[in-house]
Amino acid sequence: MELKSLDNDINIIEKVEKGSIAEELGIEPGDILVSINDNKVLDIIDYKYLISDNYVVVTIQKKNNEVWDFEIEKDYDEDLGIYFTNPLIDKAKSCRNKCMFCFIDQLPKGMRETLYFKDDDSRLSFLQGNFITLTNLRDDEIQRIIDYRLSPINVSVHTTNPELRIKMLNNKNAGKIYNILKKFSQAKIEVHCQIVLVPGVNDGAELDRTLGDLSKLYPSVNSVAVVPVGITKYREDLPKLEPFNEVSSLEFLKYIRNKQEEYLKKLGTRFVFPSDEFYAMTNIAPPSYGEYEKFLQLENGVGLMTLFSYEVDREIEKLKDDISLKKKYIVATGTLAYEFVKSICDKVMNNIRELEIKVVPIKNDFFGTTITVSGLITGQDLINQLKEYKDFDALIIPNSMLRSGEKVFLDDLTIEDIEKELNIKVIPSKVKGKDFINIFTKDMR
């Protein structure tokens, strides 16, 4: 052991898993990871890559500043069982784009500071599924994705036309996207792509070009999701954009259906999938369960309605015959999904006697009525629009309304605030059939 004092305020170990290699070695919370095989560990990707060998030398600085070298023999890819204070270890990389459709640029002033941070971090794409543009990475960082085989990775493409992409993202590096994707294809990196579709900008012939280019890189580019542009009422000094409506959504869905048939014959997959918003805007029933193949783009709202409906049906089949629950619930949803959510709740009420469920579409006064999805509903809009509803046992909301892993809405109101103002219990639910049905069956026990 060598006594040193290291100027190191990152790589702090927060937790050590019970029964792990780290616990056996005496590594403790508060210790600092200095290096692995004499290599500095800059982030969690470095960490996972460097510990993947059967034999590693891990250097740890203890809380008393002693530095210990541990020679470890282990199974390939076996983890040490340590968790860091910051799961990325260093700070997330911010986005330097100025996209014409960026939702963060359309936020009102005075919201919490973290909402205004734009991430464009390849590590978050690999670890958490975030979509990145690849415009904010240096060549060596692109190469690092290839060398470390960070796969799958999610990429916001929007267009493969170099000039148009530079214009849409307002970044001179944005035109390199297709060359980067070709490099990923050669390295067999799995990529899932996203297109935010803006009427009159990257639709029509431009969309046809983009899908044609991306399909040439299949199976590396494994799927493409197309989502409609979201427009709030806070667009001062921003480019004028047109939202999708029923007519334009119908035209788009007809086009996509033809493209899916083309790719199914050519590639053996439908390859490109519209988000549920397009179907909700037209009142057209979304595709069947099988047509979504592996539901690869649920985070983009692709197939979420179909999967949820399928799961609810399966859970209803498990219910006992002639069951009852004399309770009244409110289910709050965005205006876009109202008809769908109502159909789900009608199905539940048809199978549970005496149960009453009132579905209430919440108009988005906070961001503007052009925002119709449930995930952007604020606490204050819930309070203002549900005050008239009395004598209900509970309010059910999708957990997409809340900050990930917390009980806080976008406007910083909490579940407790809603419960106090409306004098009702609030139950967040995942958009999963089992979670939703369990809310009612739990009350029957």
- Rounded CA-CA distance 57/331 in Å is 54
Contact assessment for residue 94 and residue 118, using Cβ atoms and an 8 Å cutoff: yes
Q: What is the CATH number of domain 2-84?
A: 2.30.42.10
Q: Given a cut of 50, is residue 116 above it in pLDDT?
A: no
pLDDT tens column, 131-141: 788 887 778 87
Question: 308-444 sits in which CATH class?
Answer: alpha beta
Using CA atoms in the order 149, 154, 159, 160, what is the torsion angle rounded to 10 degrees?
Answer: 10
* Cα distances (angstroms) measured from residue 132 to each of 146, 155, 298: 16, 5, 16
pLDDT of residue 83: 83
- Rounded CA-CA distance 150/72 in Å is 25
pLDDT of residue 106: 58
Contact assessment for residue 233 and residue 178, using Cβ atoms and an 8 Å cutoff: no
Indicate the pTM of the whole model.
0.80
pLDDT of residue 414: 94
Contact assessment for residue 153 and residue 125, using Cβ atoms and an 8 Å cutoff: yes
Contact assessment for residue 160 and residue 210, using Cβ atoms and an 8 Å cutoff: yes
Q: Where are the domains of the chain?
A: 2-84, 104-300, 308-444
pLDDT tens column, 220-250: 999 999 999 988 887 777 788 889 999 999 9
Q: Given a cut of 50, is residue 118 above it in pLDDT?
A: no
pLDDT tens column, 329-384: 999 999 999 999 999 999 999 999 999 999 999 999 998 998 899 988 999 999 99
SS3 per-residue string spanning 352-398: CECCEEEEEEECCCCCCCCCCCHHHCCHHHHHHHHCCCCCCCEEEEE
Q: Given a cut of 60, is residue 126 above it in pLDDT?
A: no
pLDDT of residue 262: 98
Of residues 89 and 23, more confidence is placed in 23
Span 286-311, mean pLDDT?
95
Look at the alpha carbons of 412, 415, 419, 420 in this order and tell me if their dihedral is positive or negative.
negative
Tell me which long-range contacts 287-293 makes (C-beta under 8 A, separation of at least 24).
293/269
Residue type, 53: D
State which CATH number among 3.40.50, 3.30.110, 1.10.10, 3.80.30 fits the domain covering 104-300: 3.80.30
SS3 per-residue string spanning the chain: CEECCCCCCCCEEEEECCCCHHHHHCCCCCCEEEEECCEECCCHHHHHHHCCCCEEEEEEECCCCEEEEEEEECCCCCCCCEEECCCCCCCCCECCCCCCCCCHHHCCCCCCHHHHCCECCHHHHHHHCCEECCCCCCHHHHHHHHHCCCCCEEEECCCCCHHHHHHHHCCCCHHHHHHHHHHHHHCCCCEEEEEEECCCCCCHHHHHHHHHHHHCCCCCEEEEEEEECCCCCCCCCCCCCCCCCHHHHHHHHHHHHHHHHHHHHHHCCCCEEECHHHHHHHCCCCCCHHHHCCCCCHHHCCCHHHHHHHHHHHHHHHCCCCCECCCEEEEEEECCCHHHHHHHHHHHHCCCECCEEEEEEECCCCCCCCCCCHHHCCHHHHHHHHCCCCCCCEEEEEHHHECCCCCEECCCCEHHHHHHHHCCEEEEECCCHHHHHHHHHHHHC
Q: Given a cut of 90, is residue 150 above it in pLDDT?
A: no
Buried-state track 148-172, b at ≥16 Cβ within 10 A, e below 16: bebbebbbbbbbbbeebbbbbbebe
Tokens of 436: 């939703």
Of residues 131 and 161, more confidence is placed in 161
Look at the alpha carbons of 220, 222, 228, 231 in this order and tell me if their dihedral is positive or negative.
negative
Question: Mean pLDDT score of the chain, rounded to an integer?
Answer: 86
Of residues 75 and 103, more confidence is placed in 75
pLDDT of residue 124: 37
pLDDT tens column, 379-406: 999 999 999 999 999 999 999 999 777 7
φ/ψ (deg, to 5) at 172? -65, -20
Contact assessment for residue 303 and residue 313, using Cβ atoms and an 8 Å cutoff: no
